[in-house]
Amino acid sequence: KQEVTQIPAALSVPEGENLVLNCSFTDSAIYNLQWFRQDPGKGLTSLLLIQSSQREQTSGRLNASLDKSSGRSTLYIAASQPGDSATYLCAVDNYGQNFVFGPGTRLSVLP
Amino acid sequence: NAGVTQTPKFRVLKTGQSMTLLCAQDMNHEYMYWYRQDPGMGLRLIHYSVGEGTTAKGEVPDGYNVSRLKKQNFLLGLESAAPSQTSVYFCASSYALIEQYFGPGTRLTVT
């Protein structure tokens, strides 16, 4: 059974810092990994999708990497801003059937 | 292009009542999903569909039924609501197992 964990559960940083969020999964036989952002009381917004043949994806100040063999992905946020405050979730496909989500990392960026 | 929409946005039910949540997508996606999100539990998959006329059980299917009569719609039914079904329900769709798109959510309270 695929299981996804995220470390840390919560993170508080001052504005301007670079930070790394971690996602680990137990079964490396995945097709895709997707990072999402969720604001309080809102739905999920897709940030980055990494397909199994890729090692990283970049969008603006965000960079996500994927190491399938070790079952890990990281989301790097450069020059953090208060507007980045949200919960960040990663999800992996589950044996080609559906997606399994991690519990999320709650990020607070302090002005 | 509305993406993924969910109806209703909020609902309060009494124990034993029934209701149907509607999810609609206009992206011609084959795959559709219903999740519930509870504090401390993350997103858990209830049911999913890989095409019109097909449905499959996810991680927490008990107490729920689904139907996918049309490709663009995925219905989630609660036949006899219980307080344990108080949650926020999210619908999502994707093309195969590529990037998921989420609806805004339905907040359901069962008293």
**Are the CB atoms for B45 and A4 separated by under 8 Å?**
no
Higher pLDDT, B43 or B1: B43
Q: A93 φ, ψ to 5°?
A: -75, 150
| Reported confidence tier of residue B72, pLDDT bands at 50, 70, 90 | very high
How many angstroms separate the CA of residue A9 from the nearest CA in chain B?
Answer: 10
Contact A89 B43 (CB under 8 A): yes
Q: How many CA atoms lie within 13 A of B65 on its CB side?
A: 9
Nearest to B6 by CA among B91, B94, B100: B91
Task: For strands B4-7 and B19-25, give the pairing.
Answer: antiparallel
Q: Calculate what percentage of chain A has a pLDDT beyond 90.
A: 79
CB nearest B103 (choices: A43, A46, A103): A43
Q: Hey, what amino acid is at A94?
A: N
Return the bridge partners of A57, or none. A64
For an interface test with B, give the residue of A97, A99, A100, A106 to mutate (most B CBs within 10 A): A99
Could you give the CA distance from residue A44 to residue A87 in angstroms, rounded to a whole number?
9
Q: For the range B40-46, what are the long-range contacts, defined as Cβ-Cβ under 8 Å and sequence gap of 24 or more? A: B40/A103, B41/A103, B42/A89, B42/A101, B42/A102, B42/A103, B42/A104, B43/A44, B43/A89, B43/A91, B43/A101, B43/B90, B44/A101, B45/A98, B45/A99, B45/A100, B46/B76, B46/B89
B24 bridge partner residues: B5, B73
C-beta atoms of A44 and B33 within 8 A: no
Instruction: Dump pLDDT digits (tens) for A15-33.
Output: 999 999 999 999 988 888 9
Q: In this predicted model, what pLDDT tens digit does every residue of B16-59 receive, in sequence order?
A: 999 999 999 999 999 999 999 998 778 999 999 999 999 999 99
Sign for the CA dihedral angle at B58, B59, B63, B64 comes to: negative
